[in-house]
Structure formats: C-alpha cells, structure tokens
Amino acid sequence: MSKNGPIIIIDDDEDDADMYKSIIRDLGITNKFISFQNTDEALSYLIETKDVVFSILCDINIPGTSGLQFKRNIKNNPELKKKMIPFMFFSTAVNEKDVNEAFNEMTVQGFFRKPADYSELKSMLAAIFNYWRLSCHPNSLK
C-alpha cells in the first residue's frame, strides 16, 4: 500500500462507481482512481501494474468472477499476496456466510453494507480512508 497509490474500485454498477469517485474527490483525496466493472480486468491490472495500490474496494456480487473469487485469486497469487493491498468488500446484500468466508478465508480488511444514501457512504469512506492514511502498513514504510 502506498498512501499516494491508486484507489481501485470494482463494481459492475457504473452509477455506484461514479458515486465513489465523486465522494473521493469531495473528501479532497487526490489519489488516482481506477474503476473496473469486472474482476477479470482488475486482476489483469493488478498483475501487470508497477503501481503500489492504496486500497481495493470491491462489490461482492459481480457477474462472472465474483468478488469472493477475485479475492481468492489475489490470495493464491504469490506476487499479488506480497503486495498486501488493503481489501474491502462493499455490498448491498450482506449475509453471514459471505462475511465469515471473507474474514476467515480471505483475510479482508473490511466488509461493509453499501448505503444507498450519498452522505452515509461519504461518512463511511471518510472513516475508511482516514484509517488507512494513519495506519502503518509495511508497504508505506518503504
């Protein structure tokens, strides 16, 4: 994680991705913002990029390769696993099975119910980004 690295959003709903981008700008966050509508493109980017990514925000219910499988693919790739990118799920539908799997098997750093309200999402993202900016992460100490 680089505190100045790109923020990756993976969400098949373009309106949601645009809302994330708008909120990130409203919060004064100047990191580059990269959005993907599917996890396959996001995985290709992560494998190929030299960027040190700040964080990944991923919807769990995505057509094709699901968010859970995407995180599993990252975990099972030794090079991507070494990057230790903070990974958080956002979903409108939250169930106990997915949350348990995400934390117990995927070691995600967060699982959040996606609020429909702009101001609630803004408050949530502000707290998340403030936390990671203050956190001492192995990649931010280099």
Instruction: Identify the sign of the CA torsion 56, 62, 64, 67.
Output: positive
The confidence score (pLDDT) of residue 106 equals 81
Q: What is the pLDDT of residues 12-52, one digit of tens each?
A: 999 988 999 999 999 999 999 999 999 999 999 999 999 98
- Give the integer Cα–Cα distance in Å for 113 and 15: 17
**Secondary structure of residue 45 in the 3-state scheme:** helix
Q: Which residue would you say has higher pLDDT here, 17 or 2?
A: 17
Domains of the chain: 7-136 (3.40.50.2300)
134, pLDDT greater than 90: no
What six digits make up the tokens of 96? 């106990």
- Report residue 103's pLDDT band, with 50, 70 and 90 as the boundaries: confident
Is residue 86 a contact partner of residue 31, using CB atoms and an 8 Å limit?
no
